[in-house]
Structure 1
């Protein structure tokens, strides 16, 4: 991984200081296939609930899930780091949060667009890209209303299948954003809703396969499934 130039160091410091004035910052340091990464996050995401107005919650039921680093994102990142065809691949991440999987994919040579519905997350993505010496395109995206004209070789997502109302929008996003020969990799901690998503995908012309993974930290182990989803009969 290349080191940061002086201008990047200044940008990194400025963004970190600005975020530090607004949030109780946390950080996860991890090694993925021999490469060290540092990811900034929010120490206590539940403390952010006070920032959400009743009107916002009533409209979107928006929870600050973006602020944490979830085990599924680490498992997804580790899987991506082992893919030999990632260099040069155009990748988009849905619900990227602080950008863990996107940063690792970019470090492996992918051309990555990291997206999230919550605009607060975008600044953390930028910081994590800078402090890990990679380039990301960062943008706001509502997967319930895809207006992105570009299509990608790969779509990635971690922990996005947590509410029933998300299942169809995620599948429609996959169909809209993937090139005809593209594939999606979705990581999920074995929720029952994920099984419903896979059924929905199959019913709408997608082929699905599953790989088992796990994340271990401080003696606690989280089982995570990786789902590969690709068109088999033309998609939606």
Structure 2
């Protein structure tokens, strides 16, 4: 399916297409008191086993896009605290199922939720429709990890969001340039990236600090909003806020 076809399809049509290939369910995810219904593959282990059988001796492409990573939950929490001005736009890159983009749209940002995987775009669009955010968000195919042809996205955004987008070192240069091309020139514009604390990604930040001021915040949180849930799994993630040191107005090509 093309981006246009995904954005124009109904919730019923997209769910029919997904259920023909996956066993899925909607999982409620609470972000700072607000609940979003997020489409999830019901038995990920079984699905990965099926992919392994299909791959045989060939390479196995794991569905990283389908997992709701702890870093994406942290990013969603932070996004919940960002207040847009009229006309502000947000872009989520490497969105997976699009949780942070959904939060941005619910806050009032005109939001693009992006990924390179068609299935990710379909799941994200279903989540947009399921949460009644179709007037504030749409999906678009974006590859931030290559400069081979430069990206076709021409817009700038007050907010660029990315959770766990730093796991491939070969993309660091292209991602730095991508953010520079698409981050707004407004003083309060920022790119916010979240990663598992163990990932570190020193190579990216050594490159990015030449073009951006970077603030880091390490945060631990539980996989439950219930303060009395002592058995909830705990995670340690790092949040990075990037603001441009220098940007040329109008240079969005």
Alignment TM-score, normalising by the size of structure 1: 0.84
Aligned 8 A contact 2:213 2:242 in 1: yes
Query: Residue 226 of structure 1 is aligned with which of 226, 239, 252?
Result: 239
- Partner-residue secondary structure (3-state), 1:37: strand
2:206 maps to 199
The answer to which structure has the higher strand fraction is 1
Distance (Å, rounded) in 2 between the aligned partners of 1:102 and 1:87: 17
**Residue 187 (structure 1) aligned with residue 194 (structure 2):** yes
Q: 3-state SS of the aligned residue for 2:241?
A: strand
- Mapping of 1:7-26 within 5 angstroms? 11-26=10-25
Structure 1 partner of 2:226: none
SS across alignment from 2:201 = helix
Tell me the C-alpha RMSD between the 2 structures. 2.7
> Does the 8 Å CA contact 2:83/2:107 hold for their aligned counterparts?
no
Residues 185-236 of structure 1 show CA distances to partners (whole Å, capped at 9, x for unaligned) of: 001112444232222111x221000122234225211111110011113489
Deviation at 1:27, TM superposition (A): 3.6
Match of residue 7 from structure 1:
none
Q: Distance in 2 between matches of 1:112 and 1:47?
A: 35
More helix by share: 1
Given that 1:80 and 1:86 are in contact with CA atoms closer than 8 Å, whether structure 2 keeps it comes out as no
Look up the SS of the partner of 1:123 in the other structure: helix
Deviation at 1:64, TM superposition (A): 1.9
SS in 1 for 2:166: coil
- Separation (CA, whole Å) in 2 of partners of 1:214 and 1:129: 28
Match in the other structure for 2:216: 210
C-alpha distance 86-195 of structure 1, shift in aligned 2 (>3 A): farther
Cα separation, 1, equivalents of 2:152 and 2:54: 26
Q: Counterpart in 1 of 2:48?
A: 46
For 1:76-115, list aligned pairs within 5 A. 76-85=75-84, 88-115=87-114
Q: Which moved more, 1:136-145 or 1:90-99?
A: 136-145
Kept in 2, the 8 Å contact 1:186–1:227? The answer is yes
Q: Report the Cα distance in structure 1 between the residues aligned to 2:120 and 2:30, rounded to whole angstroms.
A: 23
CA contact (8 A) 1:206 1:229 kept: yes
Structure 1 unaligned spans of 5+: 1-9
Deviation at 1:50?
4.6
The unaligned stretches of length 5 or more in structure 2 are: 1-8, 224-230
In 1, distance between residues paired with 2:175 and 2:201? 11
TM-score w.r.t. length of structure 2: 0.78
1:87–1:108: 8 Å Cα contact kept in structure 2? no
Which secondary structure state, in structure 2, belongs to the residue aligned with residue 39 of structure 1?
strand
